[in-house]
Amino acid sequence: MKKIVWVILGLALVWILVDFGKDFFQESQDEKQAALETKELQPKSEKALEEGNNSGQLAYEFEAEDMDGNTVKLSDYRGKKVFLNFWASWCPPCRVEMPHLKEFSTSQEEVSVLGVNVTTSETDLSNVQSFLDEFDVEYTNVYGTQKMVNLYRVQSLPTSYIIDTQGVVQERIVGPVTQDSLTTKFDLID
């Protein structure tokens, strides 16, 4: 008789576990489906993007000091298109493109040019300000750190990035640019 009671109790326990497990599994599946539907309904700008330096990735955040000693963050430019330009005062192609960047920066209200001096490659930091003064550059320039140079894969100069209003990298450019080429490229993004 005791065996029958134990068998009945065991079967009841199995039935409870199976029934509970089925409900638990269904709720878990429903929660996953709801989360997936919510994610699909979110605007592109609200979806979590991976940070990086490739097209379609959220541009790496950085904080650096500008020529006047103020702290500048890339996220300060969110909502505007950004041309992020890595340069050095000794770089001949940088010298060629600087007048184009100056003109582009003054002719484009919806695009911010942000210069990053590759400070680690400068022999004398006074050359940085002299270079900017020579070309009468008014847009913001910051002293770049080695970490920034590494994050943005700067191997030759100039290296630049086109970043949209959401902070997403649209294009990486190695080599000098012209005002016309930048105007054309930025007209193609929102």
Tell me the pLDDT tens digit for each residue of 4-58.
Answer: 655 555 554 455 545 544 544 444 455 555 445 544 444 444 457 899 999 999 9
Longest dimension (CA), the chain: 102
Which pTM was predicted?
A: 0.75
CA 108 to chain centre: 21
| pLDDT 10s digits, 136-183 | 999 999 999 999 999 999 999 999 999 999 999 999 999 999 999 999
**Proportion of the chain in helix, strand, coil states, percent, rounded to 5:** 45, 20, 30
Distance CA(115)–CA(159), nearest Å, equals 10
